[in-house]
Amino acid sequence: MSDSVDVTAWLHEFARLIAEHKDELTALDSAIGDADHGTNMDRGMTAVVKALDEGGGGSPSTLLKQSGMKLISTVGGASGPLYGTAFLRMATAAGDAPALDGPTFAKALRAALEGVVTRGKAVAGDKTMFDALSPAVDALDAALADGQSLTEALTTTVAAAEKGRDATIPLVARKGRASYLGERSAGHQDPGATSVTLLLAAAATAAGA
Ligand code: ADP
Ligand code: MG
């Protein structure tokens, strides 16, 4: 197997994981938000998969761009524009690369993080998807620099995302709807940090981890 992330397999697996965890994501969002993160993401990923299945394929960049636009038009809420921007930035970063190999995938994921920050202005500890994505991107760069294959590196990446996700539990939210709760947002895992961890788990699976 080539050491790369197949975009079609990645998006199908992400959609499957979102569907599987839909109720959990919505339950997390009901504790500190408006109970729609699971349904938002499931609606979006169902539309992404439909477009993939109906489309004629394309380069990684083309598929990522198409998916980003679908997410923006279907997910809604805060997470729609954030995920959409992340995918559009990944599309640009992938350029004309024929496959998402280690360096290309790492560059794309870094661009996704930068897109999330540009759009949402979150910093570490705000209790958002940033808190899982940012340590994951750093872990991926470090693992690849260490000479690991992309498949191996993605296992490390997922572990870093899970740790970041779990570390959102005690945090007081400073961005998004959860921030309206102030101190009462502490003690709950962030829904977006949870879904972004699924995105990375799906990439690991698509790479054959
Ligand atoms: P909404 O909050 O509009 O209902 P969702 O429930 O779909 O949207 O998504 C909520 C998630 O979005 C949060 O759990 C958080 O991870 C993420 N989020 C919200 N605001 C921001 C932001 N400014 N930067 C990064 N992530 C954010
Ligand atoms: Mg919500």
Locate the ligand 1 atom nearest the alpha carbon of residue 129 and give its number. Answer: 16
180 class by beta-carbon count within 10 Å (0-12 exposed, 13-18 middle, 19+ buried): exposed
Helix (H) or strand (E) holding 4: strand 4-5
- DSSP bridge partners of 101: 4
Global confidence as pTM: 0.98
For every one of its 209 residues, what pLDDT tens digit does the chain have, with 9 covering 90 and above? 469 999 999 999 999 999 999 999 999 999 999 999 999 999 999 999 999 999 989 999 999 999 999 999 999 999 999 999 999 999 999 999 999 999 999 999 999 999 999 999 999 999 999 999 999 999 999 999 999 999 999 999 999 999 999 999 999 999 999 999 999 999 999 999 999 999 999 999 999 98
- Distance CA(70)–CA(87), nearest Å, equals 10
With contact defined as beta carbons under 8 Å apart, do 160 and 139 qualify? yes
58 C-alpha to ligand 2 centroid (Å): 32
Residues 6+ apart with CB under 8 A from 117: 123, 130
Helix (H) or strand (E) holding 101: strand 100-101
Residues with CB under 6 A from ligand 1: 29, 33-34, 36-37, 40, 77-79, 82, 116, 120-122, 128-130, 175-177, 190-193
- Would you state the structure tokens that stand for residue 158, as one six-digit string? 């997922």
**Which pLDDT does position 2 carry in this prediction?**
66
Tell me the one-letter amino acid at 7: V
With contact defined as beta carbons under 8 Å apart, do 53 and 207 qualify? no
- Distance CA(103)–CA(110), nearest Å, equals 11
What are the CA-CA distances from residue 75 to residues 7, 107, 165 (Å)?
20, 25, 21
**Which pLDDT does position 56 carry in this prediction?**
85
Locate the ligand 1 atom nearest the alpha carbon of residue 176 and give its number. Answer: 20
Atom 22, ligand 1: residue with shortest CA distance: 120
The C-alpha angle 59, 115, 90, rounded to 5 degrees, equals 10
